[in-house]
Amino acid sequence: MSGIWGKQLELSLFGESHGDAIGITINGLPPGFEIDMEEVQFEMARRAPGSSDLTTPRKEKDLPEILSGFLDGKTTGAPLTAIIRNTNTRSKDYSLLKDVMRPGQADYPGRMRYKGHNDHRGSGHFSGRITAPIVFAGAICQQWLKQKGVTVSSHIQSIGHIEDQRFADQKEVTHEQAEAFKKDQLPLFDGEKKEAIRDLILEAKEEGDSVGGVVETFVLGIPAGYGNPFFDSVESTLAHLVFSVPAIKGIEFGTGFDITRMKGSEANDEYYYDENGQVKTRSNNNGGIIGGITYGMPIVFRSAVKPPASIKKKQQTINVREGKAAELEVEGRHDPCIVPRVLPVLEAVTAIALTDLILGGN
């Protein structure tokens, strides 16, 4: 099992959902970088469970304990390691699931890949809980990017059939608006859709079911010239990390698949000089990236988030110990929709990817 990613910024992820702790080691942070731990904790709280009736009732404070690489509020240049204690586990809820495979979860493929030795409690290392240390690392990277005038944010593009406006539909999105989205559990450009989305999530929860959605992530202030063609393109780097987030099943940049319905004359982003002599494009159909390299417009991409697989509705499955069919009603504490909690995770992996590229001069 590989838990290591990155080149200039290398991350090593460890832990299981119901183990003593989860954590991360970060190599490559510049020495002397001052970290605002209150901002880090704010990002952690956005992802943390138990924050409202829209999420799982499992409550975890998600307080990171930094073990190395940090002194007097600044990075030392040594590997920065942090752990997050698991304090509210109920492993007995998963005793049946050692043998009965949950549809939509990694139980069966994980059992086959690791010959039955993987930790099945709370999905073990497959759990969305493992995104907590990723958010910790991403929060640090976002602070580093802010010093360079770069802001990473996102909004809910859709939940179920309810659609918000797109980033491209806005006349302008400011850094201040992007930051304000982070303080909203259901950030939308069209705030009038909020109650309908909330009702849809609670309706699924009442039915013992779940719903998915789409998150649109955007990056403001990123200069032109970062990235590479082919294997280390901005898209491939981002996509690698985005697909590392549990429950992500698709990604599209800019106009995405809709660009296939355009002619070249419509799809091309025409250049011009603005009043300050800065190069801009009249559209952003390519999502701020051409040839794998940024061109100075906002990076924009959308991620498809599937409905949570753990639901109370009865499902058909198998019992691998008995070798026969089984029925399953999943017990425990689960989210009816993880889209609101995925927002900070996607912002985190975006910040991590861009930090790795920028540190490498790429």
Three-state DSSP state, 257: helix
Query: Per the structure block, which two tokens stand in for 77?
Result: 């240049």
- CA–CA distance, 81 with 182 (Å, rounded to integer): 25
Strand 10-15 relative to strand 21-27, pairing: antiparallel
Is residue 44 a contact partner of residue 62, using CB atoms and an 8 Å limit? yes
* 347 three-state secondary structure: helix
Binding residue positions for FMN? 125-127, 291, 306-310, 333
C-alpha span between 71 and 107 (Å, rounded): 41
Q: Which residues are documented as binding site? A: 47, 125-127, 291, 306-310, 333
Pairing of strands 299-305, 315-319: unpaired
- How crowded is the C-beta side of 17, counted as CA atoms within 13 Å? 21
Query: Known binding site for NADP(+): residues?
Result: 47
Torsion of CA 128, 132, 138, 139, to 10 degrees: 140
